[in-house]
Amino acid sequence: MLPEEENRALLRASVAFEKDMEPIRLIAHMIADGIFNDGDVERVRSKTTRGERVLEFVMIYKRKAQSLTALKDALLYDGLKHLVDVLDNSTHTDAHDAVGQANAGQLRSLLTLGGVPGTLPKHVERTVQLRSLGDTLLRSAAKGSFWVVLHGMAGCGKTTLSSDVLRSDARLIGDAFQRVIWVRCDDPPAEFQSQKLFKLLYNLHTKLGTGANADVKFDDVETALHFVRQAILDSYPNLLIVLDDVWSADIAQHLDDIEHKTPYRYSTFYKAAKISCDDLTPQQLKNFCAFAIFPVNVLVPDAVLAAIWPGDIPWKGKLIKVQDDMIELRDRSLIEETVATEIDRGRRRRFYSLHFLLHAYLKRFPSASQRDTQTLCRDLVEKLQAALHNQTRDFPDYDILEEFFYVNLGYFLYKANLRDHFPLFFLNLVELIRRLKWSTPSTILVEFHIYNRWIAHWDPSKMDAFLKFFRRNASHLRRVRNEIDAVQLSLVEASTSPVYEQAKKMAVKLLESDSTGNILLLEPCDRDTEADKRDALTLDGYVVGGSLFAALFLDQNGGLFVACSRQNRRLLICDARSGQTVKRIKLSGIVEKVSVSDSKSLVVSFRNDPRVLLYDVSAEPIVDDVMLLPDANAVTPSPVLLYL
């Protein structure tokens, strides 16, 4: 076997060998010197690529040769003097990291081959401990065998620290150590579950075994140790073995005897987190503790933080101030930052979140916060409401503020103990319609169930009416695009329903406004049952029953609305204020959708018919039923029909 120094020199030179050396041309020299036998020659020749042949040649040579002299003579004879120079230079100590640092690709390959875990995307970088551990491993590499023990509480970063030092210090793997193998001690095959030593030996031998030793089976500890030692000597005599997640009663008994290099001073995560918080300035601590009011794993936009941030500076200045303050906490690994690009606006938006362990720390130690969570949540609700009230919808961050406020509204009201605010948001059709822009009907129904005791406390009957409305119309509400769509759907409710009463008030305001759009103002007919009241409508004595489609537009003379019955195939065009029938039309098919185009034309689509009916509502009044057929030239693809 090669001496340790020459073994490392051969390892460093193997990169150059892969480029310029063909092992088959050197085999005759190795046989003549008595280093290779017929089996070794066959192993080298069996490899398909030159890189594999070089690797096999080097492994056999370092195990059987006593020095590099025979290899140098063979290289000189073959005209590869520059490779001899590489070997000579690699034996000097001043070239210790010349090859290892230059060949990052080889380092990645060795780490992957050894099963070293990857680096976490976000973690605390322990620069001092990394340097100390790397220097300790380098000093220990010259020893025949050694142990370096990293110990600490679960989750403190032992695995991450070990992985980082192997990846960041190029002097270790490929230079000081020929190879690394990472073994988890809690990952054994089923047959060795009860024998911890067998778990370790089996995993180690599985990763080390090559050639004839790869499939060796052993039944006792002595045999296992023999084959593991032989595999190490045959393959990589200068090997670094990392044992991850090692824990047993024997280890616990000897912890006090371990030579401590960088002792871990904190026995729990909360004690370590307290040290991190104590190191913050008062303003930084205040900013950090403010995250306690947000739900776990929720991304908080920078615009939301700017809305609740103190100060009277302009909006853009607040955003910059928030981002600067968050950078300080991010660099201390107290918060996580996510950057997203808004393609339509061409700007970068930053979101912040708190790790769940730190979130639990703030909940467990309220003394770390300068104000309690209830007060902070109340301030958040008030400031977000004020920001939404003071800003117009063309404000660049209005949608972000509105979405965050309404998506997390129930949580903040509960945490702020604002019980009297629940009916203002959950039993108010205006607020519920705004929430439908950012939430699904099923989400709102779930929140009705979660906060039932606070909502029903004020008006149980009203809550029951809204619950029935959402359950009955969940599929339609999911497709609501604006306030008018929701109002039209709400006006189909019974006249005694609080949903209908609120929808009618909203409809009157929309009709009195200067905006143009679609709205429907209907009066339910007087029927015997609630089902009849809900499903049937009367317009100037004409009853429209069954499934109803409706739309409205505003013209110069006031509002006109259109009501259509699917069952009796009648279309009514009525005055929105008086309810008087203006036109009554008989249709030729079952109606699928009714809407009014921008050109004040009525658009009717039919089931199982790609054609649509286009009708000018400004034409002469029709008092009798008139059969209208779809225009053969007006064809609309079926996906569009769902959103007319």
- pLDDT of 101 reads 42
Residue 600 has a CB neighbour count (10 Å cut-off) of 13
CATH fit for domain 102-264, picks 2.70.70.10, 1.20.1070.10, 3.40.50.300, 3.30.9.10:
3.40.50.300
CA–CA separation, 561 and 573 (whole Å): 6
- In the chain, the amino acid numbered 298 is V
DSSP code of 461?
H
Provide the H-helix boundaries in 332-397.
356-364, 373-390
Backbone angles phi, psi at 395, to 5 degrees: -65, 135
Residues 578-582 have a mean pLDDT of 59
Q: Residue 543: which H helix or E strand, with range? A: strand 542-544
Burial of 254 (0-12, 13-18, 19+ CB in 10 A): exposed
> Are 1-95 and 516-641 in the same CATH fold?
no
> Looking at per-residue confidence, does 100 or 446 come out higher?
446
- Integer Rg of the chain from CA: 39
Kindly provide the b/e burial profile for residues 19-28, where b requires at least 16 CB atoms within 10 angstroms of the residue's own CB.
eebebeebbe
Predicted confidence (pLDDT) at residue 528 exceeds the cutoff of 50 = no
CA–CA separation, 89 and 92 (whole Å): 6
Mean pLDDT across the chain, nearest whole number?
70
The pLDDT tens digits of the residues spanning 149-160 come to: 887 766 677 888
Residues 20-28 have a mean pLDDT of 84
Burial of 514 (0-12, 13-18, 19+ CB in 10 A): exposed
User: Would you place residue 628 in the very low, low, confident or very high pLDDT band (cuts 50, 70, 90)?
Assistant: very low
User: Would you place residue 249 in the very low, low, confident or very high pLDDT band (cuts 50, 70, 90)?
Assistant: low
CA–CA separation, 60 and 36 (whole Å): 8
Using left for φ > 0, alpha for ψ between -120 and 50, and beta otherwise, residue 606 falls in: beta
CA neighbours within 13 Å on the CB side: how many for 60? 25
Least confident of 248-252, 286-290, 487-491: 248-252
User: Would you place residue 455 in the very low, low, confident or very high pLDDT band (cuts 50, 70, 90)?
Assistant: confident
CA distances in angstroms from 88 to 8, 74, 82, 107, 449, listed in the order given: 12, 15, 10, 22, 78
The rounded percent of the chain whose pLDDT value lies above 90 is 0
Q: Give residue limits of the domains in the chain.
A: 1-95, 102-264, 273-477, 516-641
Q: Which CATH class is domain 1-95?
A: mainly alpha
Cβ–Cβ under 8 Å, residues 640 and 612: no
Residue 159 has a CB neighbour count (10 Å cut-off) of 17
User: Would you place residue 482 in the very low, low, confident or very high pLDDT band (cuts 50, 70, 90)?
Assistant: low
DSSP code of 154?
T
Cβ–Cβ under 8 Å, residues 27 and 39: no
Predicted confidence (pLDDT) at residue 15 exceeds the cutoff of 50 = yes
CA–CA separation, 447 and 451 (whole Å): 6
The pLDDT tens digits of the residues spanning 200-239 come to: 566 666 655 544 444 555 566 666 667 666 666 665 667 8
The pLDDT tens digits of the residues spanning 126-185 come to: 778 888 888 888 888 767 677 788 877 666 778 888 888 888 877 787 677 777 888 776
Cβ–Cβ under 8 Å, residues 319 and 304: no
CA neighbours within 13 Å on the CB side: how many for 148? 19
β-bridge pairing 581-587 and 627-628: parallel
- In the chain, the amino acid numbered 157 is G
Residue 414 has a CB neighbour count (10 Å cut-off) of 16
- pLDDT of 512 reads 62
Least confident of 59-73, 299-313, 536-550: 536-550
The pLDDT tens digits of the residues spanning 585-597 come to: 666 666 666 665 5
> Looking at per-residue confidence, does 297 or 527 come out higher?
297
User: Would you place residue 555 in the very low, low, confident or very high pLDDT band (cuts 50, 70, 90)?
Assistant: very low
- pLDDT of 124 reads 62
Domain 273-477, what architecture? Orthogonal Bundle (1.10)
- Give the max Cα distance, the chain: 116
DSSP string, 259-316: --SS----SSHHHHHHHHHHTS-HHHHHHHHGGGGSPTTPPEEHHHHHHHSSS---HH
The pLDDT tens digits of the residues spanning 361-415 come to: 877 765 544 457 788 888 888 888 888 877 666 677 788 888 888 888 888 888 8
CA neighbours within 13 Å on the CB side: how many for 370? 11
Cβ–Cβ under 8 Å, residues 13 and 83: yes
Cβ–Cβ under 8 Å, residues 574 and 580: yes
Residues 273-299 have a mean pLDDT of 81
For 103, the token pair is: 């060949």
Predicted confidence (pLDDT) at residue 18 exceeds the cutoff of 80 = no
pTM of the complete model: 0.48
Q: Which of 531, 509, 532, 513 is nearest to 521 (CA)?
A: 509
Predicted confidence (pLDDT) at residue 256 exceeds the cutoff of 70 = no
> Looking at per-residue confidence, does 44 or 186 come out higher?
44
For 487, the token pair is: 């109002």
DSSP code of 119?
P
- Residues with Cβ < 8 Å from 24, sequence gap 6 or more? 44, 45, 53
Backbone angles phi, psi at 279, to 5 degrees: -85, -5
User: Would you place residue 193 in the very low, low, confident or very high pLDDT band (cuts 50, 70, 90)?
Assistant: very low
Residues 103-123 have a mean pLDDT of 71
CA–CA separation, 160 and 247 (whole Å): 17
Predicted confidence (pLDDT) at residue 252 exceeds the cutoff of 60 = no
Q: Which of 289, 315, 288, 292 is nearest to 304 (CA)?
A: 315
CATH fit for domain 516-641, picks 1.10.155, 1.20.140, 2.40.128, 2.30.110:
2.40.128
Predicted confidence (pLDDT) at residue 36 exceeds the cutoff of 80 = yes
